[in-house]
Amino acid sequence: MATRRLVGIDLGIATAHTVRVLDETGATVARRKAWPTVESLTGIEQAALAGAEAGTRLEVVMEPTGPAWLPIAVFFATRGHLVHRVSSAKAADLRRFLSRHTKTNGIDAETLARLPLFDPAGLRPLELPGAERAGLDRRVRATDRLTRAGAEHKRGIKDLARQVLPMSPLTGDLGVADLAVLERYADPRALTRAGLTRLTTLITRASHGHQGRDRAQQWLEAARASLALYGEHPAVAFADLAAEIATEVRLLRAVQAELAEHAQHREAYYQQVDPEELARSLPGVAEISGPALVAVTGDAARFRNAKAFRSYTGLAPRASETGETDRKGQPMSKAGSSLLRTTLIRAADTARHQDPQLARLYYVQMVERGKDHLGALCVVAAHLAERFWTVMRRGEPYVIRDTDGRPVSAEEAKAIVRQHWTVPAEVRARRRSKKARKAPQTVPTGQSQPDTRSVGKRGDLPRSSSLTGPTQPVNRRTA
């Protein structure tokens, strides 16, 4: 039996890492503490290789604990060792089995070291990205975080505005003119003092002429209604609420400025990683979604086939099979990156209007399978994920086809969707109601059914891709 050295590292954020080294039989070779320094990690490497055959590669296993995993991964990968980064859920399940009532750093480290023995097929060596992919990944994460922060500030501004102005005119998106008004005149008393002429000038200048007197009149009416309702009641701190709103507006602008800067660098990195913009050739994938999908996915070749990538996204359903019973319609696993999954679902909502094959999938799920809007979108997103992998793996742009596999233009595709695969309004309304009787889970006889032809042997590129062949089949397990 060849010598193996299995290294489990329970990472600490502000404390030392706990290390356990096992051999191929599971016997403990060394127990150590380590810090993210060259000297400390070199000592771990020497202790792990002591007594091993020449040329033995360490198998290092750790969880993605905050930022602590990267220094460890870089050190051991640079020295030619195998590094595995496993999900916390998998490690927790094994630890619960090995030591049900005890949890210590040592037990956690030993559990990680045993994973290559218990689940060798479930471990995939970590591949650290190059400079361009690493830069794209950081910029994508930064823009995503700033986008969510901006949305949070917008919600805060709207909530505060409704408190100070119960009849707030903010019923849609926050525009630059709205922010200009709120930054200066969130206090309804200041709004009324400003008057119609001054407000009109401010709004016209901020919106570059797109809004003017009518919008100013709406703000004034909201201010008068607020003063009539609240009067001078001491519980309503007009000035303090206005100051808080002005702060939120300034924070939002700062976030938006930083977001624009990161978005510019994100685009530059994306052009280097995907110069042909293959990701953006897919329907529903545009300026933001393309870089996000490429950054989170990494090298498509690391997945053996489209189904493996689909499982990686977490959009694949959980399996529930026992004896001769195979329960369909199980919830999706939600494994993997939430950013990747969310991006695919959002892209699917647009793609169902642009691609007849995906539109048919959505139609069947809504009309014939009884799913609600989000459930149907998840099915479309899962198929879109497979097509994205196929595009990136083959290096060929996506081609929109009708349900017979014939290439069509974007205009023709939208016309087909409108004519054949638009969900009736009454069906959509019925799906929104949780009390309404759902449609049968099997496709009724005589109605249009999805193509269920084979997609090829396992490991092959799916023939259902719009790049080459027939229509995308509906996955019965997901449906």
Domain boundary among 268, 302, 324: 268
Query: pLDDT category, 359, cuts 50, 70, 90?
Result: very high
Query: pLDDT category, 435, cuts 50, 70, 90?
Result: low
Q: Does a structural domain hold residue 245?
A: yes
For 208-225, what is each residue's pLDDT tens digit? 999 999 999 999 999 999
Q: Does a structural domain hold residue 450?
A: no
Same domain, yes or no: 289 and 419: yes
Same domain, yes or no: 166 and 118: no
pLDDT the model gives residue 327: 53
- Token pair in block for residue 273: 């990683």
Q: Does a structural domain hold residue 129?
A: no
Same domain, yes or no: 147 and 30: no
Same domain, yes or no: 229 and 141: yes
What is the mean predicted confidence (pLDDT) over 171-192?
94
What is the mean predicted confidence (pLDDT) over 281-293?
94
pLDDT the model gives residue 65: 84
Same domain, yes or no: 178 and 158: yes
Range of the domain at 69: 5-122
pLDDT the model gives residue 100: 59
Q: Does a structural domain hold residue 150?
A: yes
What is the mean predicted confidence (pLDDT) over 316-324?
58
Q: Does a structural domain hold residue 196?
A: yes
For 75-98, what is each residue's pLDDT tens digit? 999 999 999 998 777 667 776 766
pTM over 0.85: no
Query: pLDDT category, 341, cuts 50, 70, 90?
Result: very high
Q: Does a structural domain hold residue 443?
A: no
Same domain, yes or no: 264 and 284: no
Domain boundary among 213, 239, 268: 268
Extended beta strands in 135-210, E state: none
Same domain, yes or no: 224 and 365: no
Dihedrals phi, psi of 280, to nearest 5 degrees: -75, -5
Q: How many domains does the chain have?
A: 3
**Burial of 209: CB neighbours in 10 Å, binned 0-12, 13-18, 19+:** exposed
pLDDT the model gives residue 107: 84
Same domain, yes or no: 391 and 257: no
**DSSP assignment, residue 460?**
S
Question: Residue 250: which residues within 8 A CB-CB, separation 6 or more?
Answer: 183
Query: pLDDT category, 315, cuts 50, 70, 90?
Result: confident
Same domain, yes or no: 238 and 381: no
What is the mean predicted confidence (pLDDT) over 464-468?
43
DSSP letters of 370-404? Answer: ---HHHHHHHHHHHHHHHHHHHHHHT-----B-TT
Same domain, yes or no: 185 and 58: no
What is the mean predicted confidence (pLDDT) over 8-32?
93
Same domain, yes or no: 322 and 412: yes
Q: Does a structural domain hold residue 471?
A: no
What is the mean predicted confidence (pLDDT) over 456-466?
40
Same domain, yes or no: 264 and 312: no
Amino acid found at 15: T
Domain boundary among 219, 248, 268: 268
Asked if pLDDT for residue 101 goes beyond 80, the answer is no
Report how far apart the first and last C-alpha atoms of the chain are (Å, whole number). Answer: 46
For 235-269, what is each residue's pLDDT tens digit? 999 999 999 999 999 999 999 999 999 999 999 99
Query: pLDDT category, 206, cuts 50, 70, 90?
Result: very high
Dihedrals phi, psi of 211, to nearest 5 degrees: -130, 160
pLDDT the model gives residue 64: 87
Cα distance between residue 7 and residue 41, in whole Å: 12
DSSP letters of 7-35? Answer: EEEE--SSSPEEEEEE-TTS-EEEEEEE-
Asked if pLDDT for residue 188 goes beyond 90, the answer is yes
**DSSP assignment, residue 454?**
-
* Better-scored residue on pLDDT, 450 or 439: 439
Query: pLDDT category, 329, cuts 50, 70, 90?
Result: low
Q: Does a structural domain hold residue 43?
A: yes
CATH number, residue 67: 3.30.420.140
The C-alpha angle with vertex 66 and arms to 64 and 72, in degrees rounded to 5, equals: 60
What is the mean predicted confidence (pLDDT) over 120-124?
80
Mean residue pLDDT of the chain comes to 86
Query: pLDDT category, 296, cuts 50, 70, 90?
Result: very high
What is the mean predicted confidence (pLDDT) over 438-442?
50
- Token pair in block for residue 133: 């992919």
**DSSP assignment, residue 68?**
T
